[in-house]
Amino acid sequence: MAEQILLKHKVVSLDGYKASGGWTALEKATRMEPAAIIDEVKKSGLRGRGGAGFPAGLKWSFIPKDSAKERYVVCNADEGEPGTFKDRELIRMNPYLLIEGMAIAGRAIGAKTGYIYVRGEFAREAALLEKCIGEAKVAGFLGEKLFGSGFSFDLHVHKGAGAYICGEETALLESIEGRRGQPRLKPPFPAVEGLFACPTVINNVETLAAVPAIIEKGGAWYAGIGAGKSTGTKLFSISGPVKKPGVYEAELGIPFKTFLEEYAGGMADGKKLKAVIPGGSSTPVLTAEEAMNARLDYESLAAAGSMLGSGGIIVIAEDTCMVDALLVLARFYHHESCGQCTPCREGTGWTEKVLRRFEEGGAGPGDADLLLSISNNMVGRTICPLADALAMPVISFITKFREEFDAHAAGNTCRMGRK
């Protein structure tokens, strides 16, 4: 098992967090120059754990150094990707780790204020964060002149209303500002003109929670964990017919086969592996053979034809109909499209409609190719990647499991024996 960085301690009390070594990294950061903090994060190789995998230190360095505007740190805790539930677990296990990471990020970019944007369904997690923030303020770990320095930082929790699109960083900013959550055209990018038209850094829960350990032990230490450019550990949420579904912290680069067998306990009794979605529902599916030969890191999964994404591993067994599974995804993305871009608004709707034809016995021999055509006209043609998030699974499902779609179209009967 990998060294535990994020899940090392389960603490939901201020005293417990302090006893486990909490706040030492923040105290150290208040004595460091902001540029030195950013350099350590750059050295660590930490990449965004929300799905994009963009280097966190590089993102922080984009904040204009000569801007007279306020600066903001925003945490994206709007975890809505189907198959992904690791940020929620991290908040439940150690909310103070996120709070400390955000304060350090604030010191690095010169921000006095931060916002945690929490998914609307996470009511208990939002309440827990508000409680912990309040305790940290009373204890002097948030607020004015932290640790006797000139650095002040405050935090606020902002609850969303349950829209998946608000996981996209600019739609999230729109929502905080009180408008409908729809993605913005870029440029300008949030680092230059983000929250309230001010320079803003946006990272997700897991990314920010990794920062205290990096500052405490150094970027070089963190870079020594993992594989190549995929440094550090990663939280993986695994679901499906496995013996031990849940959230696990593993070193990046671990073989999927090892993760499945040693962390998740292998396949559930009587189940045989058919396919794996490795990084949340928006990433291309892998066949069982591809998955068992893959490693869980950014580069390896890209080489295998998929993405690490959010680390939401969805295991699919042999007795699962791939048409069924794809229809579930299409229904979700159609419902969650904000409707701003025509290829997404219409493409997700048409995809669901055609897939329903397969399920209901009305598909024709050309409908699988029609789905591929729709998807190819969605990829890369919208303001945000939501259209791609459906198109990529559609293309991979049909390409790798074409015989199931053709069987539905030819005989109107599912290969799994269901009408």
Which residue type, as a one-letter code, is found at position 107? R
Measured CA to CA, the distance from residue 60 to residue 43 in angstroms comes to: 13
For range 221-245, the mean pLDDT: 97
Q: Is 309 helix (H, G, I), strand (E, B) or coil?
A: coil
Kindly tell me if the per-residue pLDDT of 417 is higher than 70. Answer: no
Give 341-357 pLDDT, tens digit per residue. 999 999 999 999 999 99
Give 87-102 pLDDT, tens digit per residue. 999 999 999 999 999 9
Measured CA to CA, the distance from residue 358 to residue 410 in angstroms comes to: 10
Kindly tell me if the per-residue pLDDT of 336 is higher than 90. Answer: yes
Contacts (Cβ under 8 Å, ≥6 apart) of 335: none
Give 116-147 pLDDT, tens digit per residue. 999 999 999 999 999 999 999 999 999 999 99
Burial-class residue 328 by CB neighbours within 10 Å (0-12, 13-18, 19+): exposed
Portion of the chain with pLDDT greater than 70, in percent: 98
pLDDT at 52: 82
Q: Which domains can be identified in the chain, with CATH numbers?
A: 14-219 (3.40.50.11540), 239-317 (3.10.20.600), 322-411 (1.20.1440.230)
Q: Supply the pTM of this predicted model.
A: 0.95
Measured CA to CA, the distance from residue 288 to residue 297 in angstroms comes to: 17
For range 146-173, the mean pLDDT: 96
Helical residues (DSSP H) of 164-262, grouped into ranges: 169-176, 205-209, 211-217, 219-223, 256-258
Largest Cα span, the chain: 74
383 HSE (CA, 13 A, CB side) = 19
Q: How distant, in Å, are the alpha carbons of 44, 74, 152, 211 from that of 103?
A: 18, 11, 9, 10
Q: Could you tell me the sign of the dihedral formed by the alpha carbons of 320, 324, 329, 332, in that order?
A: negative
pLDDT at 2: 67
Measured CA to CA, the distance from residue 277 to residue 402 in angstroms comes to: 17
Give 378-399 pLDDT, tens digit per residue. 999 999 999 999 999 999 999 9
Q: Could you tell me the sign of the dihedral formed by the alpha carbons of 213, 215, 220, 223, in that order?
A: positive
pLDDT at 83: 94
Kindly tell me if the per-residue pLDDT of 419 is higher than 60. Answer: no
Q: How distant, in Å, are the alpha carbons of 6, 74, 152, 230 from that of 280?
A: 20, 22, 37, 18
pLDDT at 412: 59
Portion of the chain with pLDDT greater than 90, in percent: 93
Kindly tell me if the per-residue pLDDT of 414 is higher than 80. Answer: no
